[in-house]
Amino acid sequence: MRSATKELKSESSRIVDNPAYSEAAARLEALRPKLEEAKKRHFILTERSGSVVKRAFSGGRGVLPHMTDAVFDDMARKVATNNGDIPDSLMHRLRFDAPKATFPDENDTETFNTVADAARRVELLARAVAVQERAVVAIKKIAIAAVCESTQSARSRIAREVADAVLQLAAKLREENELIAGLREQDKSIPDILRPQPFPIALLSTDVIRWLAAVLEISEAEVQARIASIQ
223 versus 41: which is more confidently predicted? Answer: 41
Q: What is the pLDDT of residues 126-168, one digit of tens each?
A: 999 999 999 999 999 988 888 888 888 888 899 999 999 988 8
Evaluate the CA torsion angle 79, 85, 86, 88 in order and state its sign.
negative
Residue 159's closest CA among 126, 111, 208, 194?
208
Host domain of residue 104: 13-148
Judge if 158 and 105 occupy the same domain: no
The pTM (predicted TM-score) of the whole model is 0.68
Whether 230 shows a pLDDT value over 80: the answer reads no
Confidence of residue 225 (pLDDT cuts 50, 70, 90): confident
> How many domains does the chain divide into?
2
Whether 79 shows a pLDDT value over 60: the answer reads yes
pLDDT at residue number 3: 56
Judge if 101 and 167 occupy the same domain: no
pLDDT at residue number 145: 86
pLDDT at residue number 110: 92
Q: What is the pLDDT of residues 112-137, one digit of tens each?
A: 999 999 999 999 999 999 999 999 99
Residue at which a domain ends, from 107, 128, 148: 148
